[in-house]
Amino acid sequence: VPGDILAGHACVTLFSEFSLWRFLLLCLCSALLYCGGLILNDCLDYNEDCRERPKRPLPSGAINIRDAYLAWIVSTVLALTICWFISTASFNIALILAVLIILYNGPARKFPGVAFVIMGLCRGFNLLLGASTAIGTSDVAANITPVFLTETLYILAVTYIAYNETKKLPSRMWCMMPFM
């Protein structure tokens, strides 16, 4: 997760002054959003895990599901709050990322193709979060846009391949997509 922040920041460092403090805070926000997404995923998988994986922390009772939902909310709100203090761009990108995480873990699960796109966008917006301290100038947009699209498409392809790997590998084109 910090790799996306570093990559995003590296794309814009020529256009902004490097701030180790902001960089570390953005890494923290990214990790909070990511961990929150993992927790939300476990909460939404609770019924399935009770049937198929009863020894996992939530179904076994090691962690109360209400506490898990609370941990998701706290981590997401904390990330958004920190981003609010970093910059408006950081907050807006983190908010979009939080919505994408909810969509990925919730309604998109019913539509795998949509889920692949949303997962790609999650990683793309995480990259934008790293660039968010310098977003606003045309030079930044020109440098970050191709990297954003590349990251988004790369993760979309990898997610698609991973989804199908236990059944049958997708077409050769899809398998080559991450390398392209």
Write the secondary structure of 39-78 as one string of H (helix), E (strand) and C (coil): HHHHHHCHHHHHHHCCCCHHHHCCCCHHHHHHHHHHHHHH
Q: Is the dihedral of CA 28, 34, 40, 43 positive or negative?
A: negative
Stated pTM of the model: 0.87
Q: Which of 89, 97, 82 is nearest to 36 (CA)?
A: 97
**pLDDT attached to residue 9:** 82
**pLDDT per position as a tens digit, 35-47:** 999 999 999 999 9
169: left (phi over 0), alpha (psi -120 to 50) or beta: beta
Residues in the chain: 180
Q: Which of 11-25, 77-91, 133-147 has the lowest mean pLDDT?
A: 133-147
**pLDDT per position as a tens digit, 129-179:** 988 877 655 566 677 888 889 889 888 888 877 777 666 666 666 666 666
